Structure 1
Amino acid sequence: MSHKIEIDPKPRFDLSPQLYMQFMEPLGTTDSSVEAAWDFATHSWRPQFIEVVRQLGPGCIRWGGILTSFWKWREGVGPRDQRKPMLNYLWGGLESNQVGVHEILDLCQQVNADPLMAINFAADGRPAYLNTAAGENRAGTPEEAADLVSYCNDPDNAERRANGQPEPWNIKLWQIGNETSYPKAGQRFTSEENVTHYREFAQAMRARDPRIKLIGWGDEERDSDRWWVTDLLDAAEGEIDYVAAHMMHQRPQRENSILVSQEYARDYDCAWEELGEIYGAVVTKLDTLRQKIEATSAPVPLALTEGHLSLRPHNTNTLLHEWLSGLYHARVMSLYERNGDLVKIATLADFFGTRWTVNAVMLGGPHQNAYLMPVGVIMQFFKDHSGPHGLQVTPAVGSLELSASRSDSRVYLHVVNTDLHRSEALDLALDQTVIRSARVFEIAPGDVAAYVDHERPNPFTPVERSVEVKDNRVSWTFPAASVSVLELDIATDAIGQ
């Protein structure tokens, strides 16, 4: 059976290049992450790390995570022998601060990614960082955050110039608040305090550079159905450019889940069914966020600044090495593209590390090359084969889930075949538009258990195939458990263009 569809190629919204963002956070003894990517002998990023990140091509790199609740930016600038090490109160160990503001922004420049800087938002109201086990108060202040804006963006900032950077970086995106609503009541700000402190920080930061774009925290409160976005957007109208939430609770819905350790390998069909339930929870949360944002007095775009599949063992499940996880992440990426009118910043993974399988990039030892995990392959694939304008498209036909975009002369149709066993055919036309030529790029390993590791770093390389255009229609059969993109070169002088 072949499904017939017709797509209107009229642009509906701008598709943000920051939809494929990555975020980095030092993870101490939990995962060597940032420090594993840094060469302490040459004081530079490891060349193989830079190479694979350029391949991944994130449009944006965020410095953030819970670490920013106790991060003091001045401890990581200036002469290396004078930088103050920092206890990693969350992830364990001691951070050398050899990777600080300059090094983070150097990475962004080397891989051509926009930086997104998260600041220490008064420790997000967390008592553990207001009075630490070592007797420190690690909370940031509005003045500290404003000083960081000046350090990065003021052309005449003397402190930055003295530290060897004459030109400003002109960072546009800044996040105020990270998972602020997630701890239990009494271990964080209230929603009202979040609004009050957000406005204090926003006003101080904008006083230094009125051009910056600010992201405030608006996710759901723990053990409650209260969403902070309502209070934030109603009270901070005109002072906020994006509202942040995280897709961090992508975990099994069943009490006796098969998605634990390697139990999934006993029954991939059952595992896929469970992953479908998790995907349904992502859809529900995104729909709820849209409703909450649009119901406020001053709606703004959504920034999903963290989010990954959360399976046990915590962040180390081996399924994330396998193609079944890539297929899952393609569904989520397609969902974000279809909702690109609202979602302007997003990620599917943590960025890089040596242990956590939720990373997009897996590092190795000094003599091992870095490689993309399946989630990284998917983010790169969607980023490399998308246009700047989103199109309206039927979300699903049969087992095929769809998202579409276009450039001036090309339409991109992403197709995820969610059936693990059967191929599915699609017959496609574009409304009042001539299709001049077509091709398909296809990731179809033929086995949902296909995996990636240091010995097999490229098992998911897309294959390009030519596609016949007949009577101004394109037909293609998508293999089972595949992720593909149909690229249609179109006549720009056609009716309706």
Structure 2
Amino acid sequence: MSMKAKMIIDKDFTVGKVDDRLYGSFIEHLGRAVYGGIYEPGHPEADEQGFRGDVLELVKALQVPIVRYPGGNFVSGYNWEDGIGPVEQRKKRLDLAWRTIEPNLIGLNEFMDWCRKANTEAMMAVNLGTRGPDEARDIMEYSNIKGGTYWSDLRISHGYREPHNIKTWCLGNEMDGPWQTGSKTAHEYGRVACETAKVMKWVDPSIELVACGSSSLTMATFPDWEATVLEHTYDHVDYISLHQYYGNRDKNSANFLAQSMGMDRFINTVISTADYVQAKKRGKKKINLSFDEWNVWYHSNEADSRIEPWSIAPPQLEDIYNHEDALLVGCMLISMLKRADRVKMACLAQLVNVIAPIMTANGGAAWKQTIYYPYLHASVFGRGTVLVPLVTSPKYDTKDYTDVPYLESVAVHNEEKSEVTVFAVNRHLEESLLLELDLRSFGAIQLIEHIVMAHDDLKASNTLEVPDRVKPHHGGSAKVTSNGSIEAQLGKASWNVIRVKLV
């Protein structure tokens, strides 16, 4: 007999509206993310600019609303001017962040062209490692001023008459990390971020700015860093960033799947810290969260340690994801949705080849990794208003976590489409879970579909040779019962999407 769980959902109990930018992603000048990823001239699927059409189609299917660029660690030593103007005149530079050579074949303008083709917006980062307010005001002028000034006219001379109107900007990247070019103390970063934010908003008051939070929740300075940085920048920024990656290095899958509980605590701590600064400053503005790096990352660590330095676009951070990775990615998406009132932007890091849902072979095919699917489902079906569920579930304890619910779930109400979508992970590695969904407040309902992704082998992955080993099916067991509830059997170690029509 399977275990039982119950989820009661009321339409009047809401967390908040999902900002579409919660389903963003990230392209850094790192490994094969750009060269061999989104851009590969000479590829059979490449367009006139060298952008891979097969990759574009996979990205467009994900409905990615915003993409962070150009880094990442890369941005802390990057001169954005190296990536504009005639390509044949651009300089090759050493990238100290990843110990490679950057050829600068792709820069700001080309990336904006790619964004338009991918139906997405840009979240641009400025270099606050080796540079500061001066560089930031210049790139703002180049990007967002219509014309009549040096930098805007230079953009026009480069073939871009209309401004790019980039509205979301990151003030540096992971500036507390000793691995970062030009890393800083919280006070040092807070001051330069404040002054940079001021000049950027003087150029274009309509932009939104993201201040760097701690590089991860394990940093010794967390959350003091957030408090100090926001005390400097509160009046000028709109978001504070969060970064977090997880891995199953000790081969403990039950503990691995519980790690999203750490993400829950991380999010709540940053919210509390931001609200403390607001209270201290007697402010009216809520600082929201941009979880602009998140994923599973650990498979490629050993391979990356053997990469020969100073090559162009070597295969770096190319994690091959398995089924359990997809389950945790699903749990992490649920964690962010549960705080959709404050987590307004997020970027799955990254999008192509580098710890990514999409993989490519140079000169060959592109395919979907296991983590592609929960990301796809959440982005396509997880738009609307997040509801507060009342959940009862059996629980378990692990090495690092206690009272871990086997059922990890959230519900999103799309009023425009008159639909409710429930995302649910059964964390149990051996047993199925019988779920009762009580939607009594919605009245009459019809089941649209029950999507399931499951596999008997937690370590099963998709590869160039076998790209569909792990993929979802639409034959889940969910049904409407006689009392108007939904009943569904959630298989062991499974990702589930239950879609309901309100009639």
Give SS of 1:362's match.
strand
Give the corresponding residue for 1:451.
461
Q: Is the 8 A contact 1:437 1:469 kept in 2?
A: no
Partners in 2 of 1:390 and 1:332 — Cα distance?
Answer: 15
Partners in 2 of 1:424 and 1:119 — Cα distance?
Answer: 47
**Given the alignment, which residue of 142, 163, 167 partners 2:158?**
163
Note the C-alpha offset of 1:55.
Answer: 2.4
Output the amino acid matched with 2:275: E
Give the corresponding residue for 1:429.
438
Note the C-alpha offset of 1:178.
Answer: 0.6
Give the corresponding residue for 1:375.
371
Note the C-alpha offset of 1:65.
Answer: 0.4
Structure 2 portions without partners, runs of 5+: 43-47, 304-316, 395-405
Q: Does 1:474 align with 2:465?
A: no
**TM-score (normalizing by structure 2):** 0.84
Partners in 2 of 1:225 and 1:117 — Cα distance?
Answer: 25
Partners in 1 of 2:247 and 2:484 — Cα distance?
Answer: 44
Q: Does 1:48 align with 2:54?
A: yes
Give the corresponding residue for 1:391.
387
Aligned positions of 1:181-196 closer than 5 A: 181-183=176-178, 188-196=183-191
**CA distance 1:15–1:185, shift in 2 (3 Å):** closer
Note the C-alpha offset of 1:71.
Answer: 0.9
Q: Is the 8 A contact 1:360 1:376 kept in 2?
A: yes
Give SS of 2:330's match.
helix
Note the C-alpha offset of 1:115.
Answer: 0.8
Give the corresponding residue for 1:126.
none
Note the C-alpha offset of 1:300.
Answer: 0.7
Output the amino acid matched with 1:324: E
Give SS of 2:499's match.
strand
Note the C-alpha offset of 1:226.
Answer: 4.7
Output the amino acid matched with 2:298: L
Q: Is the 8 A contact 2:408 2:424 kept in 1?
A: yes
**Given the alignment, which residue of 91, 111, 125 partners 2:118?**
111
Deviates more, 1:310-319 or 1:59-68: 310-319
Q: Does 1:62 align with 2:63?
A: no
Partners in 2 of 1:140 and 1:72 — Cα distance?
Answer: 8
Aligned positions of 1:238-253 closer than 5 A: 238-248=235-245, 250-251=246-247
Highest RCO, 1 vs 2 (Cα 8 Å, sep ≥ 6) = 2
Give the corresponding residue for 1:336.
336
Q: Is the 8 A contact 1:246 1:305 kept in 2?
A: yes
Give the corresponding residue for 1:419.
428
**CA distance 1:227–1:312, shift in 2 (3 Å):** farther
Give the corresponding residue for 1:13.
16
Deviations 1:327-355 (A, max 9, x none): 121111111111111211123432222xx
**Given the alignment, which residue of 413, 417, 421 partners 1:406?**
413
Partners in 2 of 1:59 and 1:375 — Cα distance?
Answer: 18
Note the C-alpha offset of 1:474.
Answer: 1.3
Output the amino acid matched with 1:346: A
Partners in 2 of 1:187 and 1:81 — Cα distance?
Answer: 30
Output the amino acid matched with 1:145: A
Give SS of 1:383's match.
helix
Aligned length: 452
Q: Does 1:363 align with 2:350?
A: no
Partners in 1 of 2:170 and 2:454 — Cα distance?
Answer: 38
Output the amino acid matched with 1:196: R
Q: Is the 8 A contact 2:260 2:332 kept in 1?
A: yes
Q: Is the 8 A contact 1:56 1:372 kept in 2?
A: no
Output the amino acid matched with 2:131: G
Structure 1 portions without partners, runs of 5+: 124-138, 260-270, 492-497
Give the corresponding residue for 2:308.
none
Deviates more, 1:97-106 or 1:384-393: 384-393
Output the amino acid matched with 1:111: A
Output the amino acid matched with 1:20: Y
Partners in 2 of 1:191 and 1:19 — Cα distance?
Answer: 27
Q: Is the 8 A contact 2:169 2:207 kept in 1?
A: yes
Q: Is the 8 A contact 2:373 2:472 kept in 1?
A: no
Partners in 1 of 2:427 and 2:133 — Cα distance?
Answer: 48
Deviations 1:401-432 (A, max 9, x none): 11111111111111101111111111222242
Output the amino acid matched with 2:158: N
Note the C-alpha offset of 1:197.
Answer: 0.5
Output the amino acid matched with 1:241: D
Output the amino acid matched with 2:121: D
Note the C-alpha offset of 1:205.
Answer: 0.8
Note the C-alpha offset of 1:84.
Answer: 1.7
Note the C-alpha offset of 1:464.
Answer: 2.1
Partners in 1 of 2:89 and 2:481 — Cα distance?
Answer: 65
Partners in 2 of 1:206 and 1:225 — Cα distance?
Answer: 28
Give SS of 1:161's match.
helix
Q: Provide the aligned C-alpha RMSD in A.
A: 2.4
Aligned positions of 1:217-366 closer than 5 A: 217-219=212-214, 222-248=219-245, 250-251=246-247, 258-259=250-251, 271-276=252-257, 278-297=259-278, 298=283, 299-311=286-298, 313-314=300-301, 320-353=320-353, 356=354, 358-366=355-363
